[in-house]
Structure 1
Amino acid sequence: MALTLSSWRFSKYEESWEWIQRCLLQSYNQFSETSLKKWDLSVSPEGFFRLKKIFPSGKQEYFSFNISRLKDISFKGSSDSGEIIFTTREDDIIVQTYNDPHGNIDSMSTVFKLPVLGMETQKLDSLRNALLMFKH
């Protein structure tokens, strides 16, 4: 019985991770930035959210945090476009810039805003519930 329950938990966990990854990749609004050259967004099976943005100038921005450190997930905008606002307990979000004419920055933050498109209420609720599964 314990093996079956453990397998079920792993299966649900894996399904949630895959769904979170797919949902964020499909919803991310890369056009909110002025001409991104390239971007990479991922959520690892271990619960790490990562976003790397590369601009035509060569400047790079990198954001990373562990979903287990989330305090709140909120949304600002409409179903057409908006921002998912991730808030962590403390300064748990890594923020780095490279090749920035104003200087490279390594800092920490408690808030990260992800621009999204087509985020219907039901999809947002499902995303929130799947992310909360990683917190436990």
Structure 2
Amino acid sequence: MKKFTLCLKMSFISALCVFFYAFSNPDPLEQYAGFLQKTFTDHYDSAQESNQIKRYELNVTNNGFCRYKRYFNNGKTEYFAFKLSKFKDMDYYGNTASGKLYLHTKGDDVIVQTYKDRGGDVDSMATQIIIPLKNMEAEDLNQIRDNLEQIVKIPAQPAKEVAKVEE
């Protein structure tokens, strides 16, 4: 009977843990990054650069990076990336129909790489990234700012230690 009671207790505790885990909050960074990814995807304005840009990639990752890559018709490629926790401020120049979002960082935190350019491949750092957007209302811009500010407030996660295997 003791084994049955022990098994019953363990089953109940396991079920309780699964229940609480099901209703726990997901990682806040993933929530904010997901909102930013959806907003940037929905409002990206390729028409502002359609005569120069063949295609683009704009990603906000769950680990807190914003990556923007543009492929030009002449073969040149530009790549911009920054850690969202380095966000400082933003500006939007334009109107509700079309404009450019300037995301400023705390310092030279934006990685800029160009490939197949006439001047050669260049790696540099910048303080801002510019994203062309359309159909942006003031409320949308406020939500973008709020999400970016919430990401900055998230404490930095310590790097995971890698277990050393001794032979």
TM-score by length of 2: 0.73
| CA contact 2:84–2:152 (8 Å) conserved in 1 | yes
Partner of 2:150 in structure 1?
A: 133
Deviation at 1:13, TM superposition (A): 3.6
Q: 1:2-58 CA distances to partner (integer Å, 9 max, x unpaired)?
A: x88xx3262x44332211101001111222223311111000011100001111221
Determine what percentage of the aligned residue pairs are the same residue: 34
Going by fraction, where is strand more abundant, 1 or 2?
1
| 1:17 alignment partner AA | A
Query: Which moves more between the two structures, 101-110 or 37-46?
Result: 101-110
Partner of 2:53: 36
Q: Distance in 1 between matches of 2:78 and 2:30?
A: 28
Q: 1:20 maps to which residue?
A: 36
Deviation digits for residues 52-85 of structure 1 (CA, Å, limit 9, x no counterpart): 1111221100000011001112211111111111
Structure with max Cα Rg: 2
Bigger RCO (CA 8 Å, 6+ sep): 1
Q: Deviations over 1:79-98 (max 9, x none)?
A: 11111111111100011100
Tell me, in whole angstroms, the C-alpha distance in 1 between the residues paired with 2:145 and 2:26.
18
Aligned-residue CA RMSD (Å): 1.7
Write the distance in 1 (CA, Å) between the matches of 2:47 and 2:119: 23
Q: TM-score, normalised by structure 1?
A: 0.88
8 Å CA contact 2:29–2:64 kept in 1: the answer is no
